[in-house]
Structure 1
Amino acid sequence: MNDKLIQSQKQLHDSLFELYMQGGLELYLAGTRGLKRELIIRLETSALTPEKGEIIHYYAVNRWDEDDQFDEWAKPLVALTAEAERILGVTNSQLAYCRSTAVVLDDFCEFAEI
């Protein structure tokens, strides 16, 4: 190869490496959430309709970073019916030790950056 082509390839390599390093540094500085964050959100309620129930399970995970997640149950204001316990797979006695819905919702909104 001629010297100009070799020099050009070396400059291209160095430029790409520098670009990679800058991007890597940005990811490092951004922390575990990285530069790309898309949340998959799942909410479970204590009844079939919003008028009769409330959100008692808040779950969200970053599509690009499974360590970036929120998963918490909340204590409902009104106890679950036996049918709701069966469907949800959680009991009133398990939810008795959970934080209130208002507190969990605040933390969930902060996590989701809402």
Structure 2
Amino acid sequence: MSDRLIQSQKRLHDSLFELYMQGGLELFQAGTRGLKRDLIIRLETSALTPQKGEIIHFYAVNRWDENDEFDEWAKPSRPLTAEAERVLGVPNSPLDDCRLTYAVLNDFLAFAYAC
């Protein structure tokens, strides 16, 4: 085996041991998946343009951990138009019981910035 390959394997072993010592067995077993948080974000609005609508559905999921998820609908400040109800497939009535957009947005941002 070449000296370069031996040194590379030693560095890898030392790095994994250091990771184990700092993060414990669980982090070592999780490997890089335990260190990543890549969010897939989907937002739905109450109209086709930002000037006329607002975000009414906040959804995000960590692509490495499906249990790390945020999914909440918000009550728009104005009722959805009939066209918006048709496009979204959501009537106004269930949205009446939801929290206001700004309240959901605050929780969504806290979720997104959580480490």
TM-score by length of 1: 0.74
Structure 2 equivalent of residue 59 of structure 1 = 59
Residues 1:69 and 2:69 are matched in the alignment: yes
Secondary structure (helix, strand or coil) at the match of 2:48 reads coil
State how 1:2-41 maps to structure 2 within 5 Å: 19=17, 21-22=20-21, 25=25, 27=27, 34-41=34-41
Structure 1 counterpart of 2:91, which letter?
T
Superposed displacement of residue 83, structure 1: 1.0
Secondary structure (helix, strand or coil) at the match of 1:110 reads helix
- Structure 2, unmatched stretches of 5+, are 1-9
- Structure 1, unmatched stretches of 5+, are 1-11
- Say if 2:20 and 2:27, in contact at 8 Å, map to a contact too: no
Number of residue-to-residue matches in the alignment:
96
TM-score by length of 2: 0.73
- Please identify the structure whose Cα radius of gyration is greater: 1
Residues 1:80 and 2:80 are matched in the alignment: yes
Q: State the alpha-carbon separation in 2 of the partners of residues 112 and 25 from structure 1.
A: 27
Q: What percentage of residue pairs aligned between the two structures are identical?
A: 69
